[in-house]
Structure 1
């Protein structure tokens, strides 16, 4: 660890020294176009990234990265192909300071920025073509996929991100799609992997005459998971199309995107020895999973009867989005722009989740009546019997000394089987007017979001299963002296119906945002800008109430148990009543101001202050402020962007669903972070390049409040001072060998993540880890290229999270616990034809 810190300090010191030397050498120089005299320009210079024009976080549409006064990152198609992201979250690792937890599979991963606690998507907005996918970004990655139709990714951290979008005070990540408007062109890509991927991507478009243009794109694939789940994990795809027309002073286009896709959610996996985490005996930490064909299809109960929770259907998404884009120059000074999108979104999240850490234990412990009230109740219900474990599918009975044979390691656990529904109708629109003069660009806009949603986990179950790769379900039974089963606590492994609530809630959200953003060029060296947003927000919800009911058919006419299965007697169910939530309308504001100064033709500095917030439905907003000082330098094959920042999160909210509760308990506190983000690229030789990007930061948290059903049981004095899952360092260094004649490249990528805390009490350390990726690209012909990538070459086991169901303190009563580990070594390759 100390070596990694010394390396980082040395690299940053070198960059600062280079800046200082060049300032001394170039002081007083004019401000022409940047120096691009680096050797080896056939492969592109290190200056290219700073000279790219960025549209995200800007309203003038003319600023380059070098001239910008916000922390901005641009990754083009070549950067994305080199990264070969297995998920949308994985692509976010290209952004300095972004902490990504992409261990859950292709979708529903976590990411955070600038020292904010991990475990969600707070303060980071995902956008497509400049419009937020949803108001809250959760599940946005189920329809915002990594595909050949994505032209580039742009990300703004802080600054104008809190002005030009909603709920993106920390960052806006904007994926910009290809819009071919001139000569027809396209590409076809075939992708495979060592975990069974069979995928085809296609896009094509261009001018069709008389100012009109059109195009389409999409992908279809089937793929097994890197982790062995026992069935095909991912299948489906998306299709998009667009058509538009350009004329002398304007343009109009419409687009449509249809998604029908299925993904598997990889739940946390079993580990032991919290001080030195290792997989439990017999479990493969790189490729194992607690998903299986045996527990993949289960039956829950609700007021409509039985419900099927089917992992083969996975995270099933069906979505249709229809959008438009309009731009017209009214005269030399004024331009009006409007874009919008309507999305009809249906998602059924069929998945398995872990229960708390205390449920991961030996079979002997689980059957001990002295510490398990349900075992006591079973023995009372069936007197003269002994508790035992029985395989649901195998029928094998384990009792006495044989309990050590359960799972091959003596362990079992509780899990949750669920089909969480999220049905949304979302409309977003952004209308703006820009007034441009010789040195100024002033934009006024109205951004609106309206969303109706139904969601809930109705029909979920808590069930018992083995703890091994591809586990089988288990029953708890009562046996007589002859070993015959005379009664059951569980039914086909089900311990409890609807522990995570009943019914489907309904909600309505509306957001109207007036914003102003002004960009003023004082002279050739100095640019200033300022912006403000005022949001009018309204949220209402109807949350279903539950009552304990008798399960139909569970009793005989005389009132006795009809099947001698205890779990089948009663259950919570929706009673037809709702709790209405309406905190009325609220108004909140965001402001920012910044400036960029070109010291000479190679060095620019900037400063920025911003103050914004995140809306939390009916809960109070969480306020956030950023202060930034940055420098950008480029000359002779070397470029660097350094941003020193201070983050002030006021009343940050995080929550846990504690055992026995149907609503979450929320904790609030203040977080202060000081850090340095950096992006460096150096091309010391004609055929060599080195990239370094990352963050070093120090964050602290002060707990101030606890609210919710279990607030009285939470001891705030026991909570820690460091935000959950937020590392003090996170960086990637990538040396690359460039092949002659632009034929391709070979690269090695080293990624380091510092230690984090899995829980609010800071009692459970997630150790630091590093991974090594290798890859290559080769241009077989001018129109045909090959790409190859291996992730986690050394098969490192790195933990991205502990167990979110463990409460605010994750230390279990025993030595076993759940955690989610990064994926094991895996290989992906693709062949792309351009035409």
Structure 2
């Protein structure tokens, strides 16, 4: 739980300084009658000379300066000016003279509309082709640029819809390019798309991106996602970045230091291509969460309250204002407070706050922004739980609801686990599901850009992140797997049928007069003897016991990061070039304590109970405890102590060349030198502290106070090249090659990934979309082995290539026929065909026979575990009249996956139906209602990945992790 004094102080500060004035203003705006927006454009005197100072450089920036300095109105296409440079304009000039100077040698000319607007277009375009008025220019995809003027107090609500192909993107490219002429696979997710998605976690935002498979079933954090056929079960090759920079270099998952909130205005997702050049360890994809721009003209903000059917209560706020007395300076403060039990039933609540403060100052030729973030976050965590399997159908185990159930009960609140006294000096470690995942952290960041003459500019991003990440999670079946999921009767039978046979044998030796064993419920104290088979078989309606690992891991991470460089933009009569040369420096220190991992026995039920195993005499009396308050083993995941110092230094070049406005050719290269020094604790069998109950008195893997030292370095070279050809203003094609790496610490060989892709983008007749074909090569990797159920000798690890051919589709259609324009449909789909090839296994002797060829043949052609072939989502939507909002349906389908590399346990595909409505109560107030998994579909995202790599279904049961059942979320958003 967060410190209550801090929580009260933060809440009071927000209420008195931000929330109360903001909500008061919002309430006043709701009660006032809305007025129609008005736009007043002052016509500039084109003949009067005035002082003009517009430096050379980016043409669009120069045109924006021209508008401010002359008060003129311009109409131009973003595609026409993208990537062009200008000589600028200086001196006492008329508006016309200044514009002529800016457009000199750019290939652009000026036409004047009868209404007085100035239209900038290519010289090849005739005046008849130019948009005749402001209203037509906007419809034609042009930019209507005009001086900033006062408007009525109305606020438009963003809605989901077709992507704007002329929208300038900022992810993966250094010059100003748009969705049409970009030579990378970019998906733009606007604020309306985010509102329509109504994501329950940050990971669910990624479901709006074709080609990414999201396993958003772990809770708010530590979820898994994979891209373009790469194996699931981690976040490898995919980075979440904020405003162009990752929050950490490595050591934790990105969603453990970043959470999506109302301060984020839009998302840009870059797959492959320059992702591995401009972001470390992001060869597969970089997902850029882009913050709202600060208010430099007048104060304003957004407040949102959210509630769910599973008990989540959350409040978000973003407020920004210019600072009186400080010209061109603004600040923003944002954050959220959340209290939730999690999407699955729980006896605990988890409270979280995040705060972000920003201060930005604009210069004539640049800007600088400071950002400070602070968080204190508590989250539940869900690992696997038992499922039943019969006649090809997966269902709940009796007593444990697959849709809402959770094995975490009150007995898991706080458990004292014996630990090595060398680890923390206290000889015990507290495991707490009441605490859950508890992360406290801070981030300090500075960003800036400065423009110079002759198209030269410099940029800098630097940040420091620190977090103490305290993970408490239960892992049912880990280590023992399905074999540990057995009847209570078998557990208490002192023969080989018992999963704790050796423990029972030790119990018989310790208590020679034992007549039978029994279990004692630690919550109620009730003892059930082995002879009471009726009671044992009736336990929770299933008669089962299991073994659950208590994993506590404390990670203290301190991470410095920077990205800096210079950009030079130049152009000629028919060409333009943007060259970026930059560097990145990261330094990370990580201290990890995962000692004291232990295993308990618990039943299979919602809010399960922990049991002691006890020895009973012939009269049923307790002779002694075999376990220690349910704990049956210690040091299960090793000694757990380590420390790492990691540095990464990169230099990169990214060049973007444009010929005749239509042909774009890009290439990038990044050389990285990564060095790691690491220490790992050594282990020995040590006695647990005196006085601890149970017959297990030794930790076989205890940290013994000594260390082993290792070091290593890697020097990967990441490269990419791409080309885009714009055939028409609504049609383009592109192709891209990339070869990039994931660094591996002390491993001298970074993990390589090669990607090929080509695509076409089109927009006309109401249809806007992109189709991309891709190939992913993940070669010569080491894969965990599995078991052919008919031949257990094939349980061998192997080397193999994983290669995937696939296609992504992202389409949006809105009829152009006016009576039907309120209807639209958005479809995203990925089909991919991943498979193992070139399988290699070393000499493997079984009874004098080398079975390596059999092992290779078994895995050849198999599908990598947790990788679906088919993903798609279809969203029909209807826009309410008078801009009142939108009603939508979404059907998401995830194709079958295998829980293992041997393809022995198939998890069937599943479809999830969602419905929702976004209703504009007023022009400043929006109600958003979303119901997810309307049909209460049972869908599994994984089998037990910790048991092994190929599983069998034992006695009709197996371990998996699934989506939650039907649930709803309601939010009310007020803009002021």
- Verify same fold: TM over 0.5: yes
Q: Normalized against structure 1, the TM-score is what?
A: 0.90
Q: Distance in 2 between matches of 1:205 and 1:601?
A: 37
TM alignment of 1:635-646, pairs within 5 A? 635-646=764-775
| Correspondence for 2:41 | none
Q: Distance in 1 between matches of 2:328 and 2:786?
A: 56
Structure 2 residues not aligned, in runs of 5+: 1-123, 132-136, 142-155, 788-795
| Correspondence for 1:22 | none
SS in 2 for 1:540: strand
| Correspondence for 1:259 | 375
> Which has the larger displacement, 568-577 or 480-489?
568-577
Q: Is the 8 A contact 1:113 1:170 kept in 2?
A: yes
Q: Is the 8 A contact 2:163 2:188 kept in 1?
A: no
| Correspondence for 2:352 | 236
| Correspondence for 1:338 | 460
Which of the numbers 775, 778, 791 marks the counterpart of 1:649?
A: 778
Q: Distance in 2 between matches of 1:85 and 1:182?
A: 30
* TM-fit CA distance, 1:704: 4.7
Which of the numbers 563, 572, 575 marks the counterpart of 2:704?
A: 575
Q: Distance in 2 between matches of 1:622 and 1:162?
A: 12
Q: Distance in 2 between matches of 1:75 and 1:64?
A: 14
| Correspondence for 1:630 | 759
Q: Distance in 1 between matches of 2:375 and 2:786?
A: 31
TM alignment of 1:489-504, pairs within 5 A? 489-504=626-641
Q: Distance in 1 between matches of 2:160 and 2:507?
A: 73
Distance 1:824 1:378, change over 3 A: same
Q: Distance in 2 between matches of 1:776 and 1:404?
A: 48
Deviations 1:174-208 (A, max 9, x none): 11112314222211111111112221111111322
| Correspondence for 2:6 | none
RMSD: 2.6
Deviations 1:736-769 (A, max 9, x none): 0101121100000000000011111111101000
Q: Distance in 2 between matches of 1:42 and 1:299?
A: 52
| Correspondence for 2:548 | 415
| Correspondence for 1:701 | 836
Which of the numbers 915, 921, 929 marks the counterpart of 1:774?
A: 915
SS in 1 for 2:672: strand
Answer yes or no: is 1:391 the counterpart of 2:521: yes
Q: Is the 8 A contact 1:505 1:544 kept in 2?
A: yes
TM alignment of 1:324-335, pairs within 5 A? 324-335=446-457
Q: Which has the higher relative contact order, 1 or 2, with Cα contacts under 8 A spaced 6 or more apart?
A: 1
Q: Is the 8 A contact 1:657 1:805 kept in 2?
A: no
Q: Distance in 2 between matches of 1:608 and 1:128?
A: 25
Which of the numbers 472, 482, 489 marks the counterpart of 1:364?
A: 489
Deviations 1:520-557 (A, max 9, x none): 11112211111111111112211111111122324xxx
Answer yes or no: is 1:677 the counterpart of 2:808: yes
SS in 2 for 1:332: helix
Distance 1:654 1:781, change over 3 A: farther
Greater strand share, 1 or 2? 1
TM alignment of 1:426-505, pairs within 5 A? 426-438=559-571, 439-505=576-642
| Correspondence for 1:207 | 322
User: Which structure has the greater CA radius of gyration?
Assistant: 2
Distance 1:654 1:36, change over 3 A: farther
* TM-fit CA distance, 1:669: 2.7
| Correspondence for 1:322 | 444
* TM-fit CA distance, 1:244: 1.9
Which of the numbers 236, 239, 245 marks the counterpart of 1:131?
A: 245
Which of the numbers 707, 713, 719 marks the counterpart of 1:591?
A: 719
| Correspondence for 2:883 | 742
TM alignment of 1:51-130, pairs within 5 A? 51-60=166-175, 62-130=176-244
Deviations 1:299-346 (A, max 9, x none): 112212221111111100101000001110021321000011100111
Deviations 1:221-273 (A, max 9, x none): 111222102221x3111101011211110111111000101000012121122
TM alignment of 1:277-296, pairs within 5 A? 277-296=394-413
Q: Distance in 2 between matches of 1:248 and 1:461?
A: 61
Q: Distance in 1 between matches of 2:321 and 2:778?
A: 46
Structure 1 residues not aligned, in runs of 5+: 1-27, 555-561, 659-664
Q: Normalized against structure 2, the TM-score is what?
A: 0.78
Distance 1:160 1:784, change over 3 A: same
Answer yes or no: is 1:145 the counterpart of 2:145: no
* TM-fit CA distance, 1:393: 2.1
SS in 2 for 1:283: coil
TM alignment of 1:609-624, pairs within 5 A? 609-619=737-747, 620-624=749-753
Which of the numbers 385, 393, 416 marks the counterpart of 1:269?
A: 385
**What is the number of equivalent residue pairs in this alignment?**
787
Q: Distance in 1 between matches of 2:164 and 2:822?
A: 18
Which of the numbers 658, 664, 672 marks the counterpart of 1:521?
A: 658
